[in-house]
Amino acid sequence: MTKIILFDFWGTLVETGVWSPTKQVRNILHIDMPFHDFVVRFEKAMMTQKIATLRDGFEMVFKEFDVPINERKMDDLIGMWNKCWMLARPYDELKEVLEELQKEYKLVLISNTDPLSVRNVLDKFDLQKYFSHIFLSCELGVIKTDEEFLHKVFHELSTKASECMLVGDSIDSDMVMAQRAKVSSLLIDRSQNRDYPDKITTLRDLKGALEE
């Protein structure tokens, strides 16, 4: 029986302010490798430490991919990444849905992020109040796809996989993680173009899916 809902952040609850920021990083740095491989290395370099500034984070990204630091590229990366959170917006139905779900479930936020972006958006739109716990990769020291991530979450919540459901927008980083940990999951597929057995197209459908 589901008691706890684990929500991914970007693309699930909040829309990024720019098109695919991670793909833009790869393009700006001219990294030629499969996107899945790039994402894992990028997130581990940028999002598993408590960096003080975005420049600090991107310096680690340059180092990870053995790219000489270029000030123009650095400025482009920082500017784009700031727009990602500054122009971000919660999906229209978000607050209404979270307020309703709070009555029956414990709501928990999980995300791969640097220390600045998600926290800034949570503060800007007063979203922290909906979540009993917030687990960020930069604070746990691991990204979501590392098995240790959910182990730490379960330990902190004093719960087990059978009491949780994970809601996310990515098959690779959310659904696969849930399957590995034997957590029930729902894919949110707003564009309705992905093949996954358990999915919804809007957060408004979540409560009905939980009750089925």
**How does pLDDT run along the chain (212 residues), one tens digit per residue?**
899 999 999 999 999 999 999 999 999 999 999 999 999 999 999 999 999 999 999 999 999 999 999 999 999 999 999 999 999 999 999 999 999 999 999 999 999 999 999 999 999 999 999 999 999 999 999 999 999 999 999 999 999 999 999 999 999 889 999 999 999 999 999 988 888 999 999 999 999 999 87
Compute, in degrees rounded to 10, the torsion defined by CA atoms 76, 191, 96, 177.
-80
Are 93 and 184 in a shared domain? yes
Are 105 and 8 in a shared domain? yes
Number of structural domains in the chain: 2
CB count, 10 Å around CB of 21? 17
Are 25 and 38 in a shared domain? yes
Q: What is the CATH number of the domain that holds 158?
A: 3.40.50.1000
Are 111 and 179 in a shared domain? yes
- Its domain, for residue 103, covers 4-15+89-211
Confidence (pTM):
0.94
CB count, 10 Å around CB of 26? 17
